[in-house]
Structure 1
Amino acid sequence: MFESIRSDFPILNQQVNDEALVYLDNAATSQTPQPVLDAIMDYYHEDNANVHRGVHTLAERATYKYEVSRQKVADFIHASSSREIIFTRGTTTSLNWITRFARTVLQPGDQILISIMEHHANLVPWQEACRATGAELVYLYLKDGILDLDDYQNKLSSKTKFVSLAHVSNVLGCLNPIKELTEMAHQVGAYMVVDGAQAAPHLPIDVHELDCDFYAFSGHKMMGPTGIGVLYGKEDILNLMDPLEFGGEMIEFVHEQESTWKELPWKFEAGTPNIAGAIGLGAAIDYLNDLGMASVHSHVQALVTYTLPKLQAIEGVTVYGSKDPSNHIGLISFNIEGIHPHDVATALDYEGVAVRAGHHCAQPLIHYLGISSALRASFYAYNTYEDCDRLIDAIIKTKEFFNGTL
């Protein structure tokens, strides 16, 4: 089934440096299938109007599609209500909004637990929240390439007010046991925040089962357009939060000296939203649902399981994280001894293979691993075993070139 879907992605049908494109940078941004592109163009061709404001036909059609997409998101992550779904610009915006709420909760001496593996979007906003409130940012570390659960249990205390963790690491690929971690966080009265940017594209997500208080993810990593993301929050907590932006659309009444806000979720969506983006995200969810998220996960993990031992068998290659393929959800990070990752990525590009090289917006983790940067190959539903072989062949060829044996 997954072999046949490649034709849905026009961008994959091209050559890069006279080689057929192998796109393995999906953890940064996935590609977009034709049905999603069609949904966005249909909106602009037929329904382009502002939402929630007009009573004319186009406005009503646009509003309907926009709110249907919100319900699709709620169903996709098993939220209790679409009122718990706020459209944002992406995971980064969602996490920033949560930390702004945290500033109203935190006091000097309180603690926030995050892990050393966090993306900067789930790290820098917490640094700023601590700077503003006098709270302390406490790091959790790793054991055998995954989160050290003993470290978590030892550091979790009555001082802990927020725990904020990636569901899946964007460098190591490890899957954090959010349900169990949330249960322990709630026992000490802490909020659980989950960065789901890498998990939502690959795994069936059930926020009700996870019981997390917040869950954030982005459309562009799950076959949707850029510039659209989601902040899920439990309804009672969202009701406690003040809006982050003020202006049109989020108001109920405006008087000369004061205003009141609309109910959830609209009090958080000031101004004209990314209507086309939300509709595109809804179409991406339809596409993923047709594939089945369990099947997507199974296919991608089969590619990882196929590639990991081949990569480990190449002399001079170091793979970061767990030795267990199941703890490399959709991606593998690695380096080749004696060759800078940027040089490797450039050489692979000459072979038509697109991978990521750098610190992956996770500099504390990169420093913790004792390196300055790393390569990352990340897979998705449209990738094939042939793509995996092309990656391995290109790495071997690159290594031979730099060693002067080619």
Structure 2
Amino acid sequence: MRSWESIRSDFPMLKASMAHHPLIYFDNGATTLKPQVVIDRVVQYYASENVNVHRGDYELSGVVSARFDRVRETVANFINASAEEIIFTSGTTEGCNIVALGLESTLTAQDRVVTVLSEHSSNILPVFHLVQQVGCELAYLETDENGRILVEKIEEAITTNTKFVAINHVSNVLGYVNPIKAIVQRAHQVGALVLVDGAQAAPHFELNVQELDCDFYAFSAHKMCGPNGVGVLYGKYQQLEKLSPVLMGGGANSRFYKDGSVTFSKIPDRFEPGTRNIEGVLGFGEAIKYLSALGMDRIHQREIELKTYLYDQMKAMDNIEIINPDPDVAIISFNVEGIFAQDVASYLSHFGIAVRSGTHCAKLLPEIVGATQSVRASLYFYNTIEEIDQFINVLSNISLEKTIELYL
């Protein structure tokens, strides 16, 4: 079994520097670094495979098309689904929009749609679109004061007129694993469909969509060592058939006619119009193989070890307010007393430490936790205890005066 130190050598970006310091990358919730095998796979496509897929009657197009299709099988095996239930998207955002907007014609003003105040804009804004366009009733799952969903209150939100529930598997700010099975069970009792935003879950622990029993599940490649601009929408086949395509173009139809009628292609082609991000899909296949070789359980345990060490150190600091007590994954959102979140992030950047600050696209979250802005440290398996020690050392010496000096 390879050591974590050895695994770090797979990531060229970890040799980078920032502000004349070795880069300490604690912004993995935004995007993850790419191993060399993924970079090489993307380059290989442009160097020797640069053709379109499913559109050429020549040998190379057929070869690359087959490789593209094998990635669909790889993704399906990774989440325990069937290949025909895997749709390649540009990312989680597109996946969430495909589902919500695709259901629009099936909803009425008498129906309820349910989400949660901690939801990322990529999932909650399509829900708002349904409310605005159809007139659906909007409801939110109840949480405690820290943002954890109250299981005993799920039934009150998901009422008998509920038709659609959009929920994150893991909050990108709070790092809490939501009770998806309980939500799905209640939703299915009343005949509602469930879309899960898995952007912060799929990279970090083993995923089995059969066990979750959700109707749709969306996630992104770039948050799990894959290329940018690629994502996956999983959907139960019979539920995908209920969606109206919201993007249309070549490859998504088998015929169209002068009178304006269209015969759409079979699933998944129906939801993949135009030229897909071929090099991204091929690179994503390599990323999944890489993660699978490391082992998702091992990755999860490593992240828990790092998260626990970081959380315990930060909890002991008097000037730190942690927004998400006892997170389930390696995401810690915090503020430094008396210092604006963006100034904290800029100060850390001065020492080579990359974190995110702001609202993190969860702009209704302050209604639960109070804080309107926060700094987020999000770790991945290639981070180290030594990096955490350096982070804590810099954070321990921060002051308002020192952050002001950066601008003088």
TM-score (normalizing by structure 1): 0.96
Distance 2:4 2:183 in 1: 34
1:312 maps to what in 2? Answer: 315
Name stretches of at least 5 consecutive residues in structure 2 with no aligned partner.
Answer: none
AA aligned to 1:310 is Q
2:191 maps to what in 1? Answer: 189
2:85 maps to what in 1? Answer: 84
Distance 1:9 1:212 in 2: 34
AA aligned to 1:142 is T
Equivalent of 1:270 in 262, 273, 284: 273
1:297 maps to what in 2? Answer: 300
For residues 150-299 of structure 1, the aligned pairs below 5 Å read: 150-257=152-259, 258-299=261-302
Find the residue that maps to 1:338 and give its secondary structure.
coil
Q: CA deviation at 1:242?
A: 2.4
Q: CA deviation at 1:401?
A: 5.4
- 2:16 is the counterpart of 1:14: yes
1:223-253 CA-partner distances (Å, limit 9, x unpaired): 1111111111000111222222222112212
Higher deviation after alignment, 273-282 or 395-404: 395-404
- 2:68 is the counterpart of 1:66: yes
Find the residue that maps to 1:283 and give its secondary structure.
helix
AA aligned to 2:169 is H
Q: CA deviation at 1:403?
A: 9.4
Find the residue that maps to 1:171 and give its secondary structure.
coil
Q: CA deviation at 1:44?
A: 1.2
AA aligned to 2:141 is L
Distance 1:259 1:296 in 2: 46
Distance 1:151 1:109 in 2: 22
- RMSD of aligned residue pairs (Cα, Å): 1.5
Find the residue that maps to 1:371 and give its secondary structure.
coil
Whether contact under 8 Å (1:339, 1:402) holds in the other structure is no
Find the residue that maps to 1:100 and give its secondary structure.
helix
Distance 1:43 1:57 in 2: 15
Distance 1:260 1:154 in 2: 41
Whether contact under 8 Å (2:73, 2:83) holds in the other structure is yes
AA aligned to 2:267 is L
Q: CA deviation at 1:254?
A: 3.2
Distance 2:102 2:35 in 1: 36
Q: CA deviation at 1:379?
A: 0.3
TM-score (normalizing by structure 2): 0.95
Q: CA deviation at 1:400?
A: 7.9
1:378 maps to what in 2? Answer: 378
Higher deviation after alignment, 143-152 or 269-278: 143-152
Whether contact under 8 Å (2:144, 2:150) holds in the other structure is yes
Find the residue that maps to 1:364 and give its secondary structure.
coil
Find the residue that maps to 1:321 and give its secondary structure.
coil
Whether contact under 8 Å (2:130, 2:136) holds in the other structure is yes
- 2:348 is the counterpart of 1:334: no
1:105 maps to what in 2? Answer: 106
Whether contact under 8 Å (1:334, 1:374) holds in the other structure is yes
Distance 1:13 1:220 in 2: 19
* Gap change, CA 1:108 and 1:259, over 3 Å in 2: closer
Aligned residues: 400
Distance 1:250 1:119 in 2: 29
Overall identity of the aligned pairs, in %: 42
Distance 2:255 2:283 in 1: 31
Higher deviation after alignment, 246-255 or 306-315: 246-255
- 2:143 is the counterpart of 1:142: yes
Whether contact under 8 Å (1:48, 1:58) holds in the other structure is no
Name stretches of at least 5 consecutive residues in structure 1 with no aligned partner.
Answer: none
Q: CA deviation at 1:67?
A: 0.6
